[in-house]
Amino acid sequence: MEKPLKHFGIIGDVHAEDIALATTLDALRAMRVDAILCVGDIVDGVGSVDECCSLLQQHHVIAVRGNHERWFLGGTMRELSDANPVGSLSKATMAYLSSLPPTITLKTILGDLMLCHGLGRKDMACLTPDDYGYALEVNGDLHELLATGVKLVVGGHTHKRMVRRFDSTTIINAGTLKRNYHPCFGLINLVTRKVQFFNLDESTRWSEAESIELERERS
């Protein structure tokens, strides 16, 4: 049985940013993390999806599929900007993308963690840093997720980094690597109970942007 996670990296929506992904993986490995998690949306971007999938596998990244993988594998939404044409990826990449589950539950020292893309199994459901009041009240997907009692959720989809706590559940959005969308990656330390986010600049050099205490952000 694997040890519960306590110090791990998080990667948001990748969108074919192979150079940014390589930098991120090198940085997180240098931080000696227990594991690296990725929230999906690997396809549909200006870089190399084949290279991204190869890197994710080489570094044993734990990943789930996003709505863009679902669309790509189903041959839909290919009219979107930067969409990868059907048949443009290698057989190895196709096999990897097809193997990704919608969610993964992992053990941590604070309890179960759900890795997903949106909210739980719903890859288009979302929660943003600006959702308060009525927006939270009517978010049925959020309430369904909270009812599971999971302690930690790591997701993406909105491209907006976030740490929000609802009663006993903390929801963390890993942001995105997509250029022009404030690309970043994250580091979670459950011993110190902090989430650190690191910015990536146009040259994919990284620097620490902010550190957020898991217990501080309560919604």
Containing domain of residue 164, as a range?
7-213
- Whole-number Cα distances in Å, 72 to 76, 89, 113: 6, 10, 27
From the number of C-beta atoms within 10 Å of its C-beta (0-12, 13-18, 19+), residue 176 rates as buried
pLDDT digits (tens, 9 = 90+) for 16-30: 999 999 999 999 999
From the number of C-beta atoms within 10 Å of its C-beta (0-12, 13-18, 19+), residue 85 rates as exposed
- Structural domain includes residue 179: yes
Predicted TM-score (pTM) of this structure? 0.95
CB 153 within 8 A of CB 37: no
CATH number for position 33: 3.60.21.10
Q: Quick one: pLDDT at residue 219?
A: 55
Low-confidence ranges of the chain (pLDDT < 70): 1, 216-219
- Structural domain includes residue 219: no
pLDDT digits (tens, 9 = 90+) for 152-176: 999 999 999 999 999 899 999 999 9
Could you tell me the two tokens for 18?
Answer: 């192979």
